[in-house]
């Protein structure tokens, strides 16, 4: 996240993706952007021959990942997509033979002015191992995807990022504690408010941030510097006087 925040040129995204792939120990990571006017670019680790083959075969028209994610707002495992057509199965066989991997996980992202992007990781693995991996990494991957897209929006020539409205102190507190990994029930207890009231603060913050969901709101708030995890950690309940830090750590 720190290296991404410091990036000041689009070509640095490629280096960051390579480093992230190695850190996660997966076969491939790809970020692909499509604007409303059809402009697109991408960064990733697929073999250049496969990328060119994909273009030559016009696989964009039949790719279940692109078609399926364009209709979704939430992350999706490739196994949940529709691979039933003959063309889709042939495409899948071709992709696996080209080293893409038999497993994949994609995060659709919507930006300003009709921008659509995909953040994808793929790997060769059995189903159980992949399910455990994506379950343990899903939250981090969503945050990274939205951080990456926001950075691309900032750096893309001639495109201004969406304006961000200031958050109220309660909205800031709510997103901060959620970013630290606390559940909604825990956060409502920390702030001495009901879960219904907490939900209202979260929805208000989402609206101000132009976020699709709570995770997206947290990602945008972090990327804009509206919440700071490091500083908030000192005020976390486990460090409050009179609270048992062990009980919080065990939650």
DSSP the chain: -HHHHH--STTHHHHHHHHHHHHHT-SEEEEEEE-TTS-EEEEE-S-HHHHHHHHHTTGGGT-HHHHHHHT-SS-EEGGGS---SHHHHHHHHHHHHTT--SEEEEEEEE-GGG-EEEEEEEE---HHHHHHHHHHHHHHHHHHHHHHHHHHHHHSTT-PPPP-PPPPHHHHHHHHHHHTT--HHHHHHHTT--HHHHHHHHHHHHHHHT-SSHHHHHHHHHHTTS--HHHHHTTSGGGSTTS-HHHHHT-
Average pLDDT rounded to a whole number, residues 81-103? 96
Q: Say which residue, 215 or 241, is predicted with more confidence.
A: 215
Domain(s) of CATH 1.10.10.10: residues in the chain: 169-249
For domain 2-155, the question of CATH label 1.10.10.60 is answered with no
Q: What is the pLDDT of residues 9-56, one digit of tens each?
A: 767 788 889 999 999 999 999 998 876 555 667 889 999 999 899 989
Architecture in CATH for domain 169-249: Orthogonal Bundle (1.10)
Tens digits of residue pLDDT in 115-147: 788 999 999 999 999 999 999 999 899 988 988
Q: Where in the chain is the domain with CATH 3.30.450.80?
A: 2-155
């Amino acid at each position: 996240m720190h290296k991404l925040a410091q990036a000041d040129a689009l070509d640095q995204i490629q280096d960051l993706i390579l480093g992230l792939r190695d850190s996660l120990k997966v076969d491939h990571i790809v970020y692909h952007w499509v604007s409303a006017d059809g402009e697109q670019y991408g960064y990733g680790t697929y073999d250049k021959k496969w990328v060119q083959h994909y273009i030559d075969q016009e696989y964009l028209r039949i790719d279940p990942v692109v078609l399926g994610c364009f209709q979704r707002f939430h992350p999706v495992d490739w196994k949940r997509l529709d691979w039933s057509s003959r063309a889709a199965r042939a495409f899948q066989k071709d992709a696996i033979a080209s080293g893409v991997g038999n497993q994949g996980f994609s995060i659709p992202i919507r930006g300003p002015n009709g921008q659509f992007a995909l953040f994808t990781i793929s790997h060769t693995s059995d189903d159980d191992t992949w399910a455990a991996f994506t379950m343990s990494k899903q939250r981090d991957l969503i945050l990274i995807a939205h951080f990456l897209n926001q950075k691309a929006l900032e750096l893309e020539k001639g495109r201004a990022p969406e304006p961000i409205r200031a958050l109220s102190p309660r909205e800031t507190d709510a997103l901060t504690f959620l970013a630290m990994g606390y559940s909604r029930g825990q956060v409502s207890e920390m702030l001495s408010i009901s879960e219904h009231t907490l939900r209202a603060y979260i929805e208000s913050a989402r609206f101000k941030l132009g976020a699709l969901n709570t995770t997206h709101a947290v990602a945008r708030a972090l990327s804009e510097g509206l919440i700071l995890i490091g500083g908030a950690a000192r005020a976390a309940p486990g460090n409050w006087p009179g609270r048992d830090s062990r009980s919080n750590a065990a939650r």
